[in-house]
Structure 1
Amino acid sequence: DAQSWTPMEIWPNQPFRETIFAPFGLTALQVPFDQVTIDLHGILETEDLPVGRPYMTWSSIASETAAVPLDGFDPHSLGGNIVKSPLQDEQLWQLLTALPADFDPRVQELAERVAGRDATDGEKIAAVQRYFLENYQYQVGITIAAGADPLTYFLLEKRAAHCEYFATGAAMLLRAVGVPCRYVTGFVAAERNRHGGYWLARNRDAHAWVEAYDRDRGWVLVEATPAAGVPQSQSSALADQVWDAWRARWQRAVAAIRQGGVQAILVAMGGWIQAPWLWSVLLLLAAVWLVRRLVHRWIGASSVAIDPQVAQLQRWLYRMDQRWRRAGITRATNETPHQFADRLLSISTEADHLQAAQWYRHYAAVRYGGQIELRSVLEMPNVAPRRKTSYGVTDPPKSRK
Structure 2
Amino acid sequence: MSDNQQPAKNHVTLLLLSVMLLGAALVFAVAADAPHTLVLTAAGLGLSFSRRTPLSRTTRSYVYAGVSVLAATVLQDQIFPVDTQRFYLIDGRYYAPAVIFLGIAITFFEQRDTTLTSVISLALIGTMIAGNSGATIVTNPRFPMTNGLLDYFHFFYGCVVAVQMLAMLAVLPHVDRRVRLPAPGRAWRWHRATVFWVSVFGVAGTVVGLRVAAIHYERLADRTFRDLFRVYMRRQSERMIFGYEVDLWRTVPPRTRADKTPVVRALAAQAPGYLRGRAFVRYGRGTWSSSDTGEHLPPTRPGGRYAYSVFRRALAGRTPSATPPPAPRPATIDLLPATAYPLGGLLAPGNAVEFELIADGLNNSNEGALVPREWDVAGGYSLALDDSIRDTAYQGPAEPPTEAERYLDIPGHIKEDVARVANTVFGATPPRPGTQGRLAQLSRFFEAGFTYELGVKFDPAGKDPILQFVEQRRGHCELFAATTVLLLRAQGIPARYVTGFVCGERPPSGTYWVARLEDAHAWTEAYVAEENRWVLVENTPASGFPTTDSASGVVSRAFDRLLVAWQNLLAQVKRGYVAEVIVALFLGLCRGLGRLLTHPLWGPVAVLSLGSAVWWLWQRRRRRRLAAADRLLVPTRTELQKTLGVLEKQARRFGVERQPCNTIRELARRLESAAQGPLRDALLELLREYETLRYQGTPPAVEAVAEFKAKVRRRLAAPG
TM-score band by shorter chain is: 0.5 to 0.7
* Residues 1:224 and 2:535 aligned together: no
- How far, CA to CA, are the matches of 1:114 and 1:104 in structure 2? 15
Q: Which residue of 1 aligns with 2:363?
A: 37
* Residues 1:112 and 2:427 aligned together: no
Letter of the structure 2 residue corresponding to residue 224 of structure 1 = N
**C-alpha RMSD of the superposition:** 3.3
Equivalent position to 1:46, from 372, 376, 400: 372
Contact kept in structure 1, 2:498 and 2:523, CA below 8 Å: yes
> For 1:156-207, what per-residue CA distance to the aligned partner results, in whole angstroms no more than 9, with x for missing partners?
4133111111110111101110111110111111211241511101111111
Q: CA deviation at 1:136?
A: 0.7
Letter of the structure 1 residue corresponding to residue 559 of structure 2 = W
Letter of the structure 2 residue corresponding to residue 179 of structure 1 = I
Q: CA deviation at 1:238?
A: 4.6
Q: CA deviation at 1:257?
A: 3.4
Note the 1:15-94 alignment, pairs <5 A.
15-16=341-342, 18-60=344-386, 88-89=399-400, 93-94=404-405
Cα distance change, pair 260–198 in 1 and its aligned pair in 2 (3 A): same
Cα distance change, pair 39–12 in 1 and its aligned pair in 2 (3 A): same
Q: Which residue of 1 aligns with 2:593?
A: none
Contact kept in structure 1, 2:362 and 2:370, CA below 8 Å: yes
* Residues 1:9 and 2:309 aligned together: no
Letter of the structure 2 residue corresponding to residue 208 of structure 1 = A
Letter of the structure 1 residue corresponding to residue 563 of structure 2 = R
Equivalent position to 1:251, from 567, 588, 592: 567
- How far, CA to CA, are the matches of 2:546 and 2:554 in structure 1? 21
Q: CA deviation at 1:49?
A: 2.7
Q: Which residue of 1 aligns with 2:442?
A: 128
Report which stretch shifted further, 207-216 or 89-98.
89-98
Contact kept in structure 2, 1:107 and 1:155, CA below 8 Å: no
Cα distance change, pair 152–192 in 1 and its aligned pair in 2 (3 A): closer
Report which stretch shifted further, 256-265 or 194-203.
256-265
Contact kept in structure 1, 2:394 and 2:534, CA below 8 Å: yes
Q: Which residue of 1 aligns with 2:482?
A: 168
Note the 1:150-189 alignment, pairs <5 A.
150-189=464-503
Contact kept in structure 2, 1:9 and 1:54, CA below 8 Å: yes
Q: Secondary structure at the match of 1:108?
A: helix
Cα distance change, pair 62–212 in 1 and its aligned pair in 2 (3 A): farther
Contact kept in structure 2, 1:179 and 1:214, CA below 8 Å: yes
Q: Which residue of 2 aligns with 1:74?
A: none
Q: CA deviation at 1:11?
A: 1.0
- How far, CA to CA, are the matches of 1:86 and 1:261 in structure 2? 34
Cα distance change, pair 6–92 in 1 and its aligned pair in 2 (3 A): farther
Q: CA deviation at 1:263?
A: 5.3
Q: Secondary structure at the match of 1:200?
A: strand
Letter of the structure 2 residue corresponding to residue 134 of structure 1 = A
- How far, CA to CA, are the matches of 2:518 and 2:329 in structure 1? 32
Contact kept in structure 1, 2:451 and 2:475, CA below 8 Å: yes
Q: CA deviation at 1:63?
A: 8.3
- How far, CA to CA, are the matches of 1:192 and 1:152 in structure 2? 34
* Residues 1:95 and 2:406 aligned together: yes
Q: Secondary structure at the match of 2:496?
A: strand
Cα distance change, pair 59–126 in 1 and its aligned pair in 2 (3 A): farther
Q: Which residue of 1 aligns with 2:310?
A: none
Q: Which residue of 2 aligns with 1:205?
A: 519
Contact kept in structure 1, 2:401 and 2:407, CA below 8 Å: no
Cα distance change, pair 85–225 in 1 and its aligned pair in 2 (3 A): same
Letter of the structure 2 residue corresponding to residue 198 of structure 1 = Y
Letter of the structure 1 residue corresponding to residue 361 of structure 2 = Q
Q: CA deviation at 1:61?
A: 5.5
Letter of the structure 2 residue corresponding to residue 8 of structure 1 = I
- How far, CA to CA, are the matches of 2:388 and 2:545 in structure 1? 22
* Residues 1:242 and 2:553 aligned together: no
Contact kept in structure 1, 2:502 and 2:521, CA below 8 Å: yes
Q: Secondary structure at the match of 1:20?
A: coil
> For 1:280-338, what per-residue CA distance to the aligned partner results, in whole angstroms no more than 9, with x for missing partners?
xxxxxxxxxxxxxxxxxxxxxxxxxxxxxxxxxxxxxxxxxxxxxxxxxxxxxxxxxxx
- How far, CA to CA, are the matches of 1:254 and 1:179 in structure 2? 45
Q: Which residue of 2 aligns with 1:193?
A: 507
- How far, CA to CA, are the matches of 2:481 and 2:371 in structure 1? 23
- How far, CA to CA, are the matches of 1:238 and 1:86 in structure 2? 45
Q: Secondary structure at the match of 1:192?
A: coil
Cα distance change, pair 146–261 in 1 and its aligned pair in 2 (3 A): closer
Q: CA deviation at 1:247?
A: 0.9
Contact kept in structure 1, 2:367 and 2:394, CA below 8 Å: no
Cα distance change, pair 4–180 in 1 and its aligned pair in 2 (3 A): same
Moved over 4 A (4+): 1-5, 61-64, 80-87, 259-267
Q: CA deviation at 1:240?
A: 3.3
Contact kept in structure 2, 1:26 and 1:58, CA below 8 Å: yes
Q: Secondary structure at the match of 1:224?
A: coil
More helix by percentage? 2
Compute the TM-score of the two structures, normalised by the length of structure 1.
Answer: 0.55
Q: CA deviation at 1:264?
A: 8.1
Cα distance change, pair 165–262 in 1 and its aligned pair in 2 (3 A): closer
Q: Secondary structure at the match of 2:405?
A: helix
Q: CA deviation at 1:91?
A: 8.5
Contact kept in structure 2, 1:62 and 1:83, CA below 8 Å: no
- How far, CA to CA, are the matches of 1:51 and 1:242 in structure 2? 23
Q: CA deviation at 1:84?
A: 6.7
Letter of the structure 1 residue corresponding to residue 413 of structure 2 = D
Cα distance change, pair 222–87 in 1 and its aligned pair in 2 (3 A): farther
- How far, CA to CA, are the matches of 1:36 and 1:6 in structure 2? 21
Q: Secondary structure at the match of 2:522?
A: strand
> For 1:184-231, what per-residue CA distance to the aligned partner results, in whole angstroms no more than 9, with x for missing partners?
111111211241511101111111111111123421111111111111
- How far, CA to CA, are the matches of 2:356 and 2:572 in structure 1? 16
> For 1:69-92, what per-residue CA distance to the aligned partner results, in whole angstroms no more than 9, with x for missing partners?
xxxxxxxxxxx7667778634587
Q: Secondary structure at the match of 1:46?
A: strand
Contact kept in structure 1, 2:332 and 2:384, CA below 8 Å: yes
Count of equivalent residues: 252
Cα distance change, pair 39–56 in 1 and its aligned pair in 2 (3 A): same
Contact kept in structure 2, 1:196 and 1:241, CA below 8 Å: no
Cα distance change, pair 85–147 in 1 and its aligned pair in 2 (3 A): closer
